[in-house]
A and B are shown apart, each in its own frame.
Chain A
Amino acid sequence: AQSVTQLGSHVSVSEGALVLLRCNYSSSVPPYLFWYVQYPNQGLQLLLKYTTGATLVKGINGFEAEFKKSETSFHLTKPSAHMSDAAEYFCAVGYGGATNKLIFGTGTLLAVQP
């Protein structure tokens, strides 16, 4: 069975600092992994995804994530935080190897301090 664990329900960084949001997964099949962002009162927006190929995946808004099979991790990073990055971030794994039925983590609320 697939599952996703996000460490840290709340993360606070200073503007310009590194953003690191942690995600670990378990999957009995090769995983498809996703990061979504949810701004207040909005739906979820796909940041990036890993399906196959290159393990370092670049997404929108300067975010990237690296699939590490040995660590069963898919942590999200951004070198320099911007105030507009304040939002909730969800890691997800494809259900049964699918890309359209997802199991989500509990989310990490990112605060960016001026």
Chain B
Amino acid sequence: SAVISQKPSRDICQRGTSLTIQCQVDSQVTMMFWYRQQPGQSLTLIATANQGSEATYESGFVIDKFPISRPNLTFSTLTVSNMSPEDSSIYLCSVTDTGELFFGEGSRLTVL
């Protein structure tokens, strides 16, 4: 099974700033995904990070707010831009390996 590491594990940020979350996988994977888990709510898919091309965003999420990079098959970043308190969430990286979806431990962001 894939092992996923995310950095930072948690952070407190000021309104209007941006933060980049890193996701490192211990093996090459074709598909990487970014999810958001808002307080008291379920997980929502933000986008699929495609290696060598632009990310594919789900309805309600845009590249200007959540730019994503996928420079190779083991790494991706998600940036949360111009943050507001509504962006306070856990952001989770996930990957597909052997037909199963694996998740990182998440990055818990609090925006003041």
**Chain A interface (Cβ < 8 Å from any Cβ of B):** 34, 36, 41-46, 49, 90, 95, 99-107
Contacts and interface: CB of A to CB of B under 8 A. Distances in A.
B63 to A, nearest CB: 18
B-side binding surface: helix, strand, loop or mixed?
strand
Interface stretch (B14-22, B66-74, B76-84, B101-109): B101-109
23 contacts: A34-B101, A41-B105, A42-B105, A43-B92, A43-B103, A43-B105, A44-B92, A46-B100, A46-B101, A46-B102, A49-B100, A99-B100, A99-B101, A100-B33, A100-B96, A100-B99, A100-B101, A101-B33, A101-B48, A102-B45, A102-B101, A106-B42, A107-B42
A1 B43 CA distance: 17
B100 A43 contact: no
Contacts, number: 44
Interface in B85-106: 92, 96, 99-106
Contacts of B4: 43
Contact of A104 (B42, B102, B105): B42
B43 A104 contact: yes
A107 B33 CA distance: 20
B111 interface: no
B103 A44 contact: yes
A102 B58 CA distance: 12
B76 to A, nearest CB: 15
A99 B42 contact: no
A43 B106 contact: yes
A99 B99 contact: yes
Per CB-CB distance, the 10 closest pairs between chain A and chain B, nearest first, are A43-B103, A100-B96, A44-B103, A43-B105, A104-B42, A104-B43, A106-B42, A43-B104, A100-B101, A107-B42
Given A42-B105, A100-B96, A101-B33, A90 B43 contact: yes
